[in-house]
Structure 1
């Protein structure tokens, strides 16, 4: 039987994962997932572990104010309030998409800039400012926050197990930063799924996830694999049209609750 074996939320884009036992799914994915983002102070361009491996050491947790508590080794914790309706809007870019979203203030900017070594700002995306998902894969009105392109990412546990065998050592699931992990399927079975149901929620499986150098970073230390694994092995059997695919992007159909252990049904 297929079941949901793990749930992960990433409050800060490219920050540390937050393992969950249950989560609410809202209009743009897991509630709170990738709703905060670090951007270059001058250009507004989003930042990630691809260029800043030290971001792998930033934890962001919800605090009592509805904002975040930022944590990193050697730095004092910082509580960041949820920006209000009158907060300054900052122009930012996520890949080719431009948005105007609330800035989280100078104190958060100073904390991040000192940690990361150049001027950065922290921004937050409210639901009403989420961006349109690529209409080549989505309906008009289907939105995403600061995730790369889609609201949710799913990986089968068997797919990771197969990849680990091929690489020759155990690999951490968090190298691939999924929201949902499914247990009980054959390796790469998710490649053929078009619609699934978890609990009472339905999801469309819309596009394979193309992978990059970020998968070669140890999620605990931020250190890059000297042998460029697992990307090197993935290229030998998961490359198509110049991209390497592992995992599937999803769009949720409606809102509801997810809980680890829920059965998963393949509808199509």
Structure 2
């Protein structure tokens, strides 16, 4: 039987994962997932572990009121309130998208600037300022917060085990930053799914996920692997025209709640 074996949320884009037992969904995916982001103060360009590896050590916990608690080794934690309706809007750029979103304020800005080592701002995206998903996939009204292109990422546990075997050492699932981990399927079975249901929530599988250098960063230490693994192996046996694929991007067609252990049904 297929089941949901793990749930992960990333309140801050490229920050540490938050393992969950249950969570509700809204139209942007898991409640609170990647609703916050760090940007370069000078140009509004988004920051991730791709260029700032130490972000893997930045913990961001979602508060019940929608705010954020940031902490990092050797740094005091800071509680950041959800920006109100009168918050300053800052122009930001994430890939090809440019938008204006609420800034979290100067105290938060000073904290993240000290951590990053250059002038940095923390921004938040409300539902009414969401981006549209990557063009050419899904529906025209599909939306996403600060995730790269789609609200959700699913990976099969057997797919990770297959990749680990090919690399020659055990790999951490969090290198690949999934939201949903499915147990009980064959390796890469998710490549052929089009629609699934978990509990009462239905999802569309819209696009395989093209992997980047971020997968070579150890999620525990923040160090990059000298052998470029597991990306090097993925490029050998999982390459397509758009890159090395691992995992599937999803869009949820309803809200509802997910809980670890729920059965997974393949609808199409």
TM-score normalised according to structure 2 size: 0.98
Q: CA deviation at 1:136?
A: 1.1
- What is the DSSP-based 3-state SS (H/G/I as helix, E as strand, rest coil) of the residue aligned with 1:226? coil
Please state if 1:31 is matched with 2:10: no
Instruction: Give 1:146-161 correspondences, 5 Å limit.
Output: 146-161=146-161
- What is the DSSP-based 3-state SS (H/G/I as helix, E as strand, rest coil) of the residue aligned with 1:233? helix
Cα distance between partner residues in 2 of 1:151 and 1:63: 20
Provide the aligned length of Structure 1 versus Structure 2. Answer: 268
Q: Identify the residue that residue 169 of structure 1 maps to in structure 2.
A: 169
Q: Identify the residue that residue 90 of structure 1 maps to in structure 2.
A: 90
Please state if 1:179 is matched with 2:144: no
After superposition, the CA RMSD in angstroms is 0.9
- What is the DSSP-based 3-state SS (H/G/I as helix, E as strand, rest coil) of the residue aligned with 1:161? helix
Q: Structure 1: which 5+ residue stretches go unaligned? A: none
4+ runs deviating over 2 angstroms: 62-66
Cα distance between partner residues in 1 of 2:166 and 2:84: 49
Cα distance between partner residues in 1 of 2:112 and 2:37: 11
Cα distance between partner residues in 2 of 1:231 and 1:246: 10
Cα distance between partner residues in 1 of 2:206 and 2:145: 17
1:236-255 CA-to-partner distances (Å, cap 9, x unmatched) read 10011151100000000011
TM-score normalised according to structure 1 size: 0.98
Closer, same or farther: CA 173–62 of 1 in aligned 2, 3 Å = same
Q: Identify the residue that residue 260 of structure 1 maps to in structure 2.
A: 260
1:198-239 CA-to-partner distances (Å, cap 9, x unmatched) read 000100000000000000000011000111100111111001
Contact conserved, 2:32 with 2:66, CA < 8 A, in 1?
no
Cα distance between partner residues in 1 of 2:9 and 2:111: 22
Cα distance between partner residues in 1 of 2:200 and 2:178: 20
Cα distance between partner residues in 2 of 1:62 and 1:204: 26
Q: CA deviation at 1:64?
A: 5.6
Q: Identify the residue that residue 80 of structure 2 maps to in structure 1.
A: 80
Q: Identify the residue that residue 192 of structure 1 maps to in structure 2.
A: 192
Cα distance between partner residues in 1 of 2:178 and 2:71: 22
Closer, same or farther: CA 64–178 of 1 in aligned 2, 3 Å = closer
1:108-158 CA-to-partner distances (Å, cap 9, x unmatched) read 111111111111000000111101112411222211000000000000000
Q: Structure 2: which 5+ residue stretches go unaligned? A: none
- What is the DSSP-based 3-state SS (H/G/I as helix, E as strand, rest coil) of the residue aligned with 2:257? strand
